[in-house]
Chains A and B, each alone.
Chain A
Amino acid sequence: MINYFKEIFAGLWTLLVGLKLTARYAVAPTVTCHYPYQTLPITPNFRGHTDLVIDPETASDKCIVCMMCENTCPSQCIEVIGEKPEGSKKKVLTAYRLDFTKCSLCGNCVEVCPTSALEYSGDYQLAGYSRHEFHFELLERLRGRVKAQGIVPRPKPAPPEGGAEAEAKPRKVRPKAEEAPAASLEPKGEEAPKAEAKPGE
């Protein structure tokens, strides 16, 4: 008999404890993010599709058209097209096509790139009406970003003349590679909403 009432009161007590807990949560501030209006910062480790890194010196890509990414891609979804302009020794990128429908986001292209010209974009809200909307032209996207963010070329002060040009070349590559992650982190925030502009077309 005692146990009977004990059980009832113990049960009642636990119910009240539960009610107290939910009441406390009910008056606590909400923790959700009002998604389309607010977005959470995405982690820099997020792997979206690849994007070309903007070189702050030239306000253009860093690609040297070495074809490493195209060759290493296991899904064969990258097509790099470059040409050698008149009187130049180096190739210049004219188109970088990424077929994102086939990409498995393995990241080999990013890792293999000798000039760190590739980065993961923060695009997590891709949507489209046909798969053709996911055949990206990364060079065009890069130009669009440069225009949207108003980046102007800021050439470095010219290195002291006289040194052998052949020697300068490999050295020029290295510092850029270290610079790349810092430079690529910055514009990521503004990049995300830009992706919606695409599906409309």
Chain B
Amino acid sequence: MTEALPPEILRIAVSVAVVVIFAFANAAIMVLVERKVCGHIQRRPGPFEVGPHGLLQTAVDGLKLMGKQILVPRGADGKLFRLAPVLSFVPPIAALIVVPFSSRLQVRDLDIGVLFILFLAALNVLAILVAGWSSNNKYSLFGSIRAVAQSVAYEIPLLICLVTIVLWVGSFRMGDIVQMQQGSWLWVIPNWFVFTPMGFVAFLIYFITGMAETNRAPFDLPEAESELTAGFHTEYAGMGFGLFFLGEYTNMVLVCAVATTLFLGGWGAPAFLEVTSTGVLANAYQLGWFLLKTYGLLVVMIWIRWTFPRVRFDQLLNFCWKILIPISLANLAVTALWLKTPFAG
């Protein structure tokens, strides 16, 4: 068996399967969580009919989406039109392979982990552009144009914030970044970057730009339903639409996982709850902490979405160019100076 199938290939196959299953399960759970949180914020129970408290709603919705026909509108570019949904959900899933879920549970600890994620996250905007362009629909095109302008603008502060941490750690490797944040200061405050002034500012800006990159409200201009019906995925039905949704939720979990890894100490528990062993149980414990932080951030993202109204387009770009970019640049400069002082680690 091992002769015919090298363990490395087996490992890759298993990890790809696990990552894909994680992405699908995550989307199924998040859709429900989103609708539930949204409902309760609006003081209604959300989905309630299918299963106890509507727990099976997403399963039924998924079945419905799969049962629907995928229509290609007249005059659309058929090949690109079919390619776009795939393009939107494959990169975020692929990016999950460098995310350290626990000290051992990581498919590949690439030297350039952060860069790898940034590269794949940037492909998202390409998928949106392709979808909007190939749909032969004015709303789709508007949506994708907005998406491009927004993503190009917001990728700059996003990059600068990540570079701040990379500068601090001196490595693009996700594992190194997490290792650096182990331990605690005076046994109380964990050594997470979010608890340093520069790290906090970087985290805040990263989280804002992350929301903009995933096209979540209040930055959901590419799919603003009151203006553009559904923006770039107006023409998609059935599983094409489903894949865009899957891509969006995987992107969200990726943004939150990166935030957890870079700013919130990854799988590290707070000092007084830390375990030092390295067995399977310890890994499960770390995984628990990682998922807790990630899903905490995701709930905050949903909470924000259902609280704030959508920004206007000029507000969106002004906010980025006039506030986020200068502050993140200043933050980077301060961090660089700090690292040169003798106090820095």
Q: What is A's interface to B at a CB cutoff of 8 Å?
A: 8, 15, 18-19, 21-23, 25-32, 34
Could you tell me the distance in whole angstroms from the C-beta of A24 to the nearest C-beta in chain B? 10
Could you tell me the distance in whole angstroms from the C-beta of A1 to the nearest C-beta in chain B? 11
Q: Complex Cα distance A10/B307, Å?
A: 17
Taking a contact as CB atoms under 8 Å apart, the answer to whether A32 and B45 are in contact is yes
Q: B48 — nearest CB in chain A belongs to which residue?
A: A34
Q: Complex Cα distance A32/B45, Å?
A: 8
Identify which of B10-18, B34-42, B80-88, B230-238 touches chain A.
B34-42
- Which B residues, 259 to 299, have Cβ-Cβ distances below 8 Å to chain A? none
Q: Chain A interface mostly helix, strand, loop or mixed?
A: helix
Number of residues in B with C-beta < 8 Å to the partner?
15
B42: which A residues are within 8 A, CB to CB? 25
- Which B residues, 16 to 45, have Cβ-Cβ distances below 8 Å to chain A? 37, 39-45
Per-position binary interface string of chain B over residues 131-152, scored 1 when its CB falls under 8 Å from any chain A CB and 0 otherwise: 0000000000000000000000
Taking a contact as CB atoms under 8 Å apart, the answer to whether B37 and A26 are in contact is yes
Q: B300 — nearest CB in chain A belongs to which residue?
A: A19
Q: Complex Cα distance A107/B44, Å?
A: 36
B303 at the interface (CB under 8 A from A): yes
Taking a contact as CB atoms under 8 Å apart, the answer to whether B43 and A15 are in contact is no
Q: Complex Cα distance A14/B97, Å?
A: 38
Instruction: Known A-B contacts: A19-B307, A25-B41, A30-B43. Give 5 more (CB < 8 A).
Output: A18-B307, A19-B304, A26-B40, A29-B43, A30-B40
Which residue of A8, A22, A32, A34 contacts B307 across the interface (Cβ within 8 Å)? A22
B44: which A residues are within 8 A, CB to CB? 30-32
Which residue of A8, A23, A34 contacts B303 across the interface (Cβ within 8 Å)? A23
Q: Complex Cα distance A126/B48, Å?
A: 25
Q: Complex Cα distance A22/B38, Å?
A: 10
Q: Given the interface contacts A8-B323, A34-B48, does A25 sit within 8 Å of B43 by beta carbon?
A: yes
Q: Complex Cα distance A27/B303, Å?
A: 12
B41: which A residues are within 8 A, CB to CB? 22, 25-26
Taking a contact as CB atoms under 8 Å apart, the answer to whether A22 and B303 are in contact is yes
